[in-house]
Amino acid sequence: MPKANELTPDETPAAEAASLADEAQRVLADAAKQIEAAVQQGLEQLRAQSRVAADAASQQIEDASEYVSEQVRSRPLAATGLALGVGVVIGLLLAQQTRR
């Protein structure tokens, strides 16, 4: 039996420090797992939201493409003139850029 002023091996400062270090490692490991789970959940939500947004954008592009196609079919000369005009404007802008 240890004397009153003697420490048992479980009560030594080194043992207490090791015990505290083990507990700190457990706490940090648990915190890391919780953070990882939260990040994974956030990524899953972001993926779901981005899929919805991508689907909506895809539908809008498809609708716009269909509208433009209808307009070109109904007014082919106007569409040709518009395309020619846009081409001329782009050509003039590019020509000005090369002169500078």
pLDDT, greater one: 35 or 5: 35
pLDDT score, position 12: 83
For residues 71 and 65, give the distance between their C-alpha atoms in angstroms, rounded to a whole number.
10
CA separation for the pair 26, 75 (Å, rounded):
73
Mean pLDDT of 66-72: 94
Alpha-carbon 38 to chain mean position: 15
Give the per-residue pLDDT at 17: 87
DSSP count for the chain of H helices, then E strands: 2, 0
Residues 12 and 21: their CA atoms lie apart, in Å, by 14
DSSP, res 10: G
Residues 79 and 71: beta-carbon distance below 8 Å: yes
